């Protein structure tokens, strides 16, 4: 087999990841680039006699040195041993996409263009002459449909042909006589030093004019640095005198002039652009009056369907574990061995696994909402509230929404914010979003006390997290993060029907993490809790006389003002620091899951809580310190423990205050 290394590059929301998933399926993994805090998705697949390593590069609009994502992408093109870069572009927004294409051409990348979403372009009346565009660009252009997989086979047949005969695409660029002449003068000086020729001299010249710090540092080490910098300054002053604007604007204008010429030659467009379907939908979805109610209704539908579909499967799994526990208890005569297997393993892990159907359905919904383009609208919708009430832009709501899935990728998603202060503030807010690890907690309490209103109670918990996050953000913005947020333009991708394969892959990735956690962290915690519940030997299992009971009794008074001052509630909260699902496994371990058990997890909760204290407990578990994984992610993203510890303090104080208010106001209102 011949091995090829291929990078997938393009703007955000052009179908890059859909192509990646279509090609690699389960043969992919996600991690950070070596030495960088930028996520790398890498996969493998075979095509004919070729064995591919394929890298999904970060979505970028340009290849400057303004963000780590841009630096990572251009470093991959320049330094890594890639054979071909597949530039995935959105045919319905071709002009915008081509700006990145031009910058990759300046880098001399061996390119193949994958023209995606051509059906959307045709609906808008955009007819692209693919053969002519390929000729003008100097590299192959292939029409594909990432969602259906149409054209993918042809794409990689052409990739293999292009890998065999690499093309320097920079030779096709034309920037006008004035700029071209000066770039050539700079290129002659740059080409005198062989150490500068690992990239096209044209790219180095352009980046020097754009004052790219990384390229400037590289040229400073050159023996020709003095003459190169003198020429750069001379050209910059000359271009300013001619055009009356900065050289960066001149270069950008030259790129767009090339793109305009390309579009005029190869794309037939209507004289007057009609309103797209996405525009028509957005008039309703992003309407200032309707947007928030629609968002709430979407969430309510999600929870209603989740419970309607997931609850029967959850009950079946619970019955299965209960039967298994009863069988094990009757089969093994030794009390301690039977208790270990029934209470620690089956009761602890099984209590969490039983909620898998509900978690799968939530992940399916979130994947569909993200892939169809709605989550970007939800962030746009929140902009007015985030900006006016909090001082943050709606873009910060993107990682917050992702926090509904898992806190760790949500913390990483704060990289979309340009301001360091905005990033740190967003990291403080993500833990208030209700991740799916907390779903089993809500499920057991809703089943015990609020079964008739399950979807409404669950919706209220999610909305409580958002409301509290906004209030905390407003306070922190005035204390720790003073100043205006960095302005931004948020792209609203076209609505599209999500790919079934893509949705299932996204869901599987998240579910796989949950199952892995159940078999490692939750199992380990359940075993520790069981040991603390059974020692000292001779005491009643899971009683106040056990080590766990004594620890709980010592801590319990702290939570008494919140309505759940029992030792069982106290130890579950402490155990939940490792992973929120462990709260459920704690109740499962203490309550037992043996068939015919007098208590059981539901009976234990009924004995320990009232409906009011149960809701206060759910609010506390929603808002208090997240799992170790999220704490570690904040430490990693901020290069230290300072902000991770600050987040822990903020969340604990907030959780205590909110739960105290819920319980005590509830008592005053007569809900006790």
pLDDT tens for each residue of 430-485: 889 888 778 888 888 888 888 888 888 988 998 999 889 888 888 888 887 766 55
Query: 201-209 and 177-190 helices cross at what angle (nearest 10)?
Result: 110
Q: Which of 294, 499, 496, 280 has its CA nearest to residue 378?
A: 294
Q: Give the number of C-alpha atoms closer than 13 A to the C-alpha of residue 151, restricted to the C-beta side.
A: 16
542 and 588 Cβ atoms separated by less than 8 Å: no
Average of per-residue pLDDT across 224-238: 86
Average of per-residue pLDDT across 206-222: 85
88 and 14 Cβ atoms separated by less than 8 Å: yes
pLDDT tens, position by position, 70-112:
777 777 877 667 888 999 998 888 888 988 898 888 888 889 9
pLDDT at 306 over 60: yes
Mean pLDDT of the chain: 80
For the stretch 381-390, contacts whose Cβ atoms lie closer than 8 Å and that sit 24 or more positions apart, written own/partner, are 381/285, 381/286, 381/291, 381/292, 381/295, 383/490, 384/288, 385/470, 386/470, 386/473, 387/485, 389/470, 389/474, 390/470, 390/473, 390/474, 390/477
Q: How confident is the model at residue 658 (pLDDT cuts 50, 70, 90)?
A: very high
Kindly state the DSSP code that residue 662 receives in the 8-state scheme: H
How much helix, strand and coil, in percent to the nearest 5, is found in the chain? 65, 10, 25
Distance CA 570, CA 560 (A): 10
538: left (phi over 0), alpha (psi -120 to 50) or beta: left
Q: Which domains does the chain have, with CATH numbers?
A: 2-171 (3.40.50.300), 177-268 (1.10.287.1770), 291-481+504-668 (no CATH)
pLDDT at 18 over 50: yes
Which residues partner with 267 through β-bridges?
128
Q: Supply the pLDDT for residue 275.
A: 66
Backbone angles phi, psi at 485, to 5 degrees: -75, 155
Backbone angles phi, psi at 28, to 5 degrees: -145, 155
Q: Supply the pLDDT for residue 594.
A: 38
Which residue in this structure is represented by tokens 């996520």?
A: 39
Look at the chain and count its residues.
672
Beta-strand pair 2-9/50-56: parallel
Q: Supply the pLDDT for residue 66.
A: 65
* Residue 412, helix vs strand vs coil: helix
CB atoms within 10 A of CB 489: 6
Backbone angles phi, psi at 115, to 5 degrees: -85, 100
pLDDT at 593 over 50: no
List the structure tokens of 215: 């390229």
Which residues partner with 534 through β-bridges?
none
Which residue in this structure is represented by tokens 């539908």?
A: 301
Tell me the DSSP string of 195-250: GGTTS-HHHHHHHHHTT-HHHHHHHHTSTTHHHHHHHHHHHHHHHHHHHSS-HHHH
Which residue in this structure is represented by tokens 């008494």?
A: 560
Task: List C-alpha distances in Å: 120 to 254, 263, 300, 432, 627.
Answer: 28, 17, 31, 38, 43
Q: Supply the pLDDT for residue 661.
A: 94
Q: Supply the pLDDT for residue 36.
A: 43
pTM tops 0.85, yes or no:
no
Q: Supply the pLDDT for residue 650.
A: 93
Q: Under 8 Å CB-to-CB from 190, ≥6 apart: which residues?
A: 196, 197, 201, 204, 205, 219, 224, 228
Helices (DSSP H) in 46-151: which residue ranges? Answer: 68-79, 94-106, 118-123, 130-137
7 membership: H or E segment, kind and range? strand 2-9
Question: In three state form, how does the secondary structure of 483-509 look?
Answer: CCCCCCCCCCCCCCCCCHHHHHHHHHH
Q: Supply the pLDDT for residue 37.
A: 44
Q: Which of 400, 305, 445 has its CA nearest to residue 361?
A: 305
Q: Supply the pLDDT for residue 272.
A: 66
List the structure tokens of 555: 């801590």
CB atoms within 10 A of CB 193: 16
Q: Alpha carbon 68 to chain centroid distance?
A: 16
390 and 477 Cβ atoms separated by less than 8 Å: yes
Task: List C-alpha distances in Å: 8 to 27, 65, 204, 298.
Answer: 16, 19, 23, 33
Distance CA 327, CA 321 (A): 10
CB atoms within 10 A of CB 447: 18
155 and 142 Cβ atoms separated by less than 8 Å: yes
* Residue 129, helix vs strand vs coil: coil
Distance CA 72, CA 432 (A): 31
Distance CA 535, CA 214 (A): 61
Distance CA 88, CA 90 (A): 7
Backbone angles phi, psi at 663, to 5 degrees: -70, -50
114 and 144 Cβ atoms separated by less than 8 Å: yes
pLDDT tens, position by position, 38-71:
566 788 888 888 888 888 888 888 777 666 777 7
Q: How confident is the model at residue 597 (pLDDT cuts 50, 70, 90)?
A: very low
Average of per-residue pLDDT across 216-241: 85
Task: List C-alpha distances in Å: 594 to 330, 346, 524.
Answer: 10, 9, 20
Average of per-residue pLDDT across 328-340: 77
Task: List C-alpha distances in Å: 599 to 350, 596, 606, 655.
Answer: 16, 9, 9, 29
Sign of CA dihedral 219, 223, 226, 232: negative
626 membership: H or E segment, kind and range? none
Q: Supply the pLDDT for residue 391.
A: 64
- Does 32 or 337 have the greater pLDDT score? 337
Q: How confident is the model at residue 649 (pLDDT cuts 50, 70, 90)?
A: very high
- Does 436 or 418 have the greater pLDDT score? 436
* Residue 529, helix vs strand vs coil: helix
Percentage of residues in the chain having pLDDT higher than 90: 8
Which residue in this structure is represented by tokens 């909110």?
A: 658
């Amino acid at each position: 087999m011949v091995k090829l290394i291929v990078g997938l590059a393009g703007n955000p929301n052009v179908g890059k990841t859909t192509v990646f998933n279509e090609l690699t399926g389960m043969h992919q993994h996600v991690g950070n680039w070596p030495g960088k805090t930028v996520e790398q998705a890498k996969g493998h697949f075979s095509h004919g006699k070729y064995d591919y390593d394929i890298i999904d590069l970060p979505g970028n609009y340009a290849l400057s040195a303004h963000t780590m994502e841009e630096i990572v992408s251009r470093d991959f093109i320049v330094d890594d041993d890639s054979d071909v870069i597949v530039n995935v572009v959105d045919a319905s927004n071709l002009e915008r996409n081509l700006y990145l294409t031009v910058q990759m051409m300046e880098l001399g990348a061996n390119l193949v263009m994958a023209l995606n979403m051509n059906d959307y372009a045709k609906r808008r009346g955009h007819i692209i002459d693919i053969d002519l565009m390929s000729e003008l660009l100097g590299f192959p252009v292939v029409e594909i449909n990432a969602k259906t997989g149409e054209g993918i086979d042809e794409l990689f047949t052409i990739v293999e042909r292009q890998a065999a005969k690499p093309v320097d695409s920079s030779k096709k660029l034309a920037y006008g006589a004035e700029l071209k002449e000066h770039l050539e003068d700079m290129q002659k000086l740059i080409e005198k030093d062989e150490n500068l020729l690992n990239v096209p001299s044209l790219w180095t010249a352009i980046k020097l004019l754009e004052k790219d710090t990384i390229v400037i540092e590289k040229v400073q080490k050159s023996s020709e640095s003095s003459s190169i910098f003198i020429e750069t300054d001379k050209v910059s002053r000359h271009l300013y005198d001619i055009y009356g604007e900065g050289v960066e604007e001149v270069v950008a204008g030259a790129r767009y002039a090339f793109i305009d010429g390309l579009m005029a030659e190869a794309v037939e467009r209507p004289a007057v652009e009609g309103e797209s379907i996405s525009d028509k939908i957005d008039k309703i979805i992003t309407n200032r009056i309707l947007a928030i109610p629609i968002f709430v209704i979407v969430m309510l539908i999600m929870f209603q369907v989740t419970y309607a579909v997931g609850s029967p499967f959850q009950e079946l799994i619970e019955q299965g574990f209960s039967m298994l526990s009863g069988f094990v208890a009757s089969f093994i005569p030794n009390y301690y061995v039977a208790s270990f297997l029934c209470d620690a393993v089956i009761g602890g892990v099984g209590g969490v696994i039983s909620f898998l159907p509900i978690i799968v359905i939530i992940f399916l919904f979130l994947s569909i909402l993200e892939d169809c383009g709605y989550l970007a609208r939800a962030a746009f919708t929140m902009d007015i509230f985030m900006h006016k009430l909090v001082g943050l832009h709606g873009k910060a709501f993107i990682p917050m929404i992702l926090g509904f899935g898992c806190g760790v990728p949500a913390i990483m998603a704060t990289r979309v914010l340009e301001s360091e202060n905005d990033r740190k503030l967003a990291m403080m807010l993500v833990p208030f979003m209700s991740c799916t690890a907390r779903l089993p907690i809500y499920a057991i309490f809703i089943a015990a006390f609020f079964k008739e209103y399950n979807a409404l109670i669950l919706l209220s918990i999610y909305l409580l997290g958002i409301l509290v996050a906004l209030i905390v953000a407003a306070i922190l913005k005035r204390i720790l993060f003073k100043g205006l947020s960095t302005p931004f333009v948020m792209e609203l991708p076209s609505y599209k029907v999500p790919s079934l394969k893509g949705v299932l892959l996204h869901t599987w990735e998240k579910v796989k993490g949950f199952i892995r956690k159940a078999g490692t962290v939750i199992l380990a915690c359940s075993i520790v809790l069981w040991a603390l519940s059974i020692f000292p030997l001779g005491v009643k299992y899971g009683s106040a006389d056990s080590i766990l009971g004594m620890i709980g009794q010592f801590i319990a008074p702290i939570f008494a003002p919140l309505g759940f001052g029992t030792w069982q509630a106290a130890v579950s909260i402490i155990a939940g620091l490792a992973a929120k699902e462990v709260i459920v496994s704690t109740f499962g371990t203490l309550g037992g899951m043996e068939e015919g058990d007098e208590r059981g997890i539901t009976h234990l909760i009924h004995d320990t809580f009232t409906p009011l204290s149960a809701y206060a407990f759910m609010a506390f578990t929603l808002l208090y310190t997240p799992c170790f994984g999220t704490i570690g992610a904040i430490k990693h993203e901020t290069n230290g423990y300072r902000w991770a510890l600050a987040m822990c303090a903020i969340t604990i104080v907030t959780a205590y205050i909110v739960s105290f208010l819920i319980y005590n106001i509830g008592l005053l209102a007569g809900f006790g």
